[in-house]
């Protein structure tokens, strides 16, 4: 699994909604890619903070899509050597 594919499946990975084979590929990639591990950790911490604040509303579909696009662009733009 490469970085772009991991980002595509990140939400499903966090929610445990991937097949076992895809989840294993994601775990293997996360074990070797510092950047993707940081993205996962940051996303999980953001979710936790949001839940702790007692917010009942989720992101609007537009804001969700914009956030996802920004994360994907940032990951794709990173130098190839950052991902092992």
Cβ pair 5, 32 in contact under 8 A: no
Structural domains of the chain, count = 1
Cβ pair 3, 33 in contact under 8 A: yes
The verdict on residue 33 lying in a domain is yes
Q: How far is CA 48 from the centre of its chain?
A: 14
Range(s) of the domain holding residue 30 = 3-78
Residue of 15, 63, 4 lying closest to 39 (CA atoms): 4
Whole-structure pTM value: 0.63
Residue 32: per-residue pLDDT: 95
pLDDT averaged over 10-residue windows placed end to end, the chain, 84 residues = 94 95 96 94 88 68 86 78 57
Residue 82: per-residue pLDDT: 57
The verdict on residue 44 lying in a domain is yes
The verdict on residue 84 lying in a domain is no
């Amino acid at each position: 699994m490469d970085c772009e594919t991991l980002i595509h499946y990140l939400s499903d990975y966090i929610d445990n909604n991937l097949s076992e084979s895809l989840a294993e590929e994601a775990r293997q990639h996360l074990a070797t890619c510092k950047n993707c591990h940081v993205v996962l950790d940051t996303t999980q911490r953001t979710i936790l903070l949001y839940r702790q604040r007692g917010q009942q509303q989720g992101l609007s579909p537009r804001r969700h899509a914009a956030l996802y696009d920004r994360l994907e662009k940032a990951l794709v733009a990173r130098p190839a050597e950052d991902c092992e």
